[in-house]
Amino acid sequence: MPRALITGITGQDGSYLAELLLSLGYEVHGLVRRVALEDARHRLSRLEGIRDRITLHSGSLESFASLYRAVQIIQPDEVYHLAAQSFVSYSFEDSFSTFRSNIDGTHFVLESVRQAAPHCKVYFAGSSEMFGNAPETPQNEQTRFCPRSPYGISKLTGYELSRNYREAYGMFVCSGILFNHESPRRGYEFVTRKITSHVARIKQGQIRDLPLGNLEARRDWGFAGDFVRAMHMMLQQPTPQDYVVATGQSHTVQEFCELAFSHVGLNWENHVIVDPNFYRPAEVFELTGDSTKARRELGWQPDVDFAGLVRMMVDADMEDGLRASGFGLRRE
């Protein structure tokens, strides 16, 4: 039975990936912060359905010793390094801690594997934010990186570290350059979930408005459940390589709003307020991915399209709202 260690297992991607690996017969281990183990109800909520089938270890991206210990004890065949400070806006507020978690944390994981389990394969969660304001659209593996945020810089450094460990030590390390991927498990600070959770609360009469920043920003949004399949596929290839993973279709924040509001019979223009507080010091205006290589070499393709994703997220937030208010229970 293959053994996997997932850092960031409590997050959106970590939880989907853990479910996928369990379904493929893996023994799944996760690294979580000690505080998460102490506040399991909230912090492990995404793992609810699989909690008794995975093994959690306490550790932190800030501690080489804890990562080394976990790798040494578990002796994984595959490590999926997903843990990071992943909110771009926050990286402008505290670039120092973003660099510590995302750069040192990645370095610690790679070095732990090199020392304690050198034959283990490693997946590094790169990001389309590394492209920033890229000189071409769509972006592929050859596109020049031009990050526009401390987050993008930190991911680019993690990507270069991964490449260097692959080349210098012959390790099997792949970076996935994933474009935005969303789901009902997305954190509320990201724009898609912020929109769908507000739409549900507006529809249910709890609030009136949705304050947003740049409505013109354009992203290539896919479904996280589709994207974690690509992570696993990369580590099953004969040689370690980096891959862009994206739907190839991009839409503006405004288009996301239009679809989300209209799905529950509302007009976005009556509720969305542009609030300059949500603008970023430096914006990435457009990201659209060209995942030809992943489609050709991995045989990967997404199942959920943009409209399906928006509907899935709005429906889940509507359901959550009804359950919280007791309507769902009464209807059952």
For ligand GDD, the binding residue among 128, 183, 197, 291 (CB under 6 A) is 128
Residue 11 vs 76, nearer CB to ligand GDD: 11
- Is 180 a residue that touches ligand GDD (CB under 6 A)? yes
Confirm whether 197 is a catalytic residue.
no
- Binding letters toward ligand GDD, positions 59-98, x by CB under 6 A: ---------------------------x-xx---------
| Among 26, 86, 128, 129, the one annotated catalytic | 129
- φ, ψ of residue 236 in degrees (nearest 5): -95, 0
Range 152-156, long-range pairs (CB < 8 A, 24+ positions): 152/88, 152/127, 152/284, 153/99, 154/84, 154/85, 154/91, 154/98, 154/99, 154/101, 154/102, 154/103, 155/84, 155/102, 155/125, 155/126, 155/127, 155/129, 155/130, 156/130
Q: Dig out the tokens for 221 from the structure.
A: 């949004």
Minimum distance of ligand GDD from residue 192's CB (angstroms): 6
Integer Cα distance of 300 and 294 in angstroms: 6
- Is 148 a residue that touches ligand GDD (CB under 6 A)? no
Cα angle vertex 331, ends 326, 332, to 5°?
Answer: 105
| Among 101, 112, 127, 250, the one annotated catalytic | 127
Pick from 322, 280, 292: which is nearest to 139 by CA?
A: 292
- Note whether 179 and 328 are within 8 A (CB): no
Using the rule CB under 6 A, give the single segment among 19-27, 73-81, 278-286, 322-330 that binds ligand GDD: 278-286
For ligand GDD, the binding residue among 13, 129, 242, 290 (CB under 6 A) is 129
- Is 190 a residue that touches ligand GDD (CB under 6 A)? yes
Confirm whether 27 is a catalytic residue.
no
| Among 16, 151, 159, 165, the one annotated catalytic | 151
Integer Cα distance of 59 and 20 in angstroms: 23
- Is 33 a residue that touches ligand GDD (CB under 6 A)? no
- Is 283 a residue that touches ligand GDD (CB under 6 A)? yes
- Is 214 a residue that touches ligand GDD (CB under 6 A)? yes
Count interface residues toward ligand GDD (CB under 6 A): 24
Integer Cα distance of 6 and 49 in angstroms: 17
Using the rule CB under 6 A, give the single segment among 49-57, 162-170, 276-284, 308-316 that binds ligand GDD: 276-284
Cα–Cα distance list, 97 to 59, 94, 106, 131 (Å): 17, 6, 13, 22
Confirm whether 127 is a catalytic residue.
yes
Minimum distance of ligand GDD from residue 289's CB (angstroms): 9
- Is 278 a residue that touches ligand GDD (CB under 6 A)? yes
For ligand GDD, the binding residue among 212, 228, 313, 316 (CB under 6 A) is 212
Encoded amino acid at 114, one letter: R
Q: Dig out the tokens for 175 from the structure.
A: 């970076």
Integer Cα distance of 114 and 303 in angstroms: 36
**Which residues carry out catalysis?**
127, 129, 151
Q: Which chain residues interact with ligand GDD by CB under 6 A?
A: 86, 88-89, 127-129, 179-180, 189-192, 194, 212-214, 217, 219, 253, 278, 280, 283-284, 287
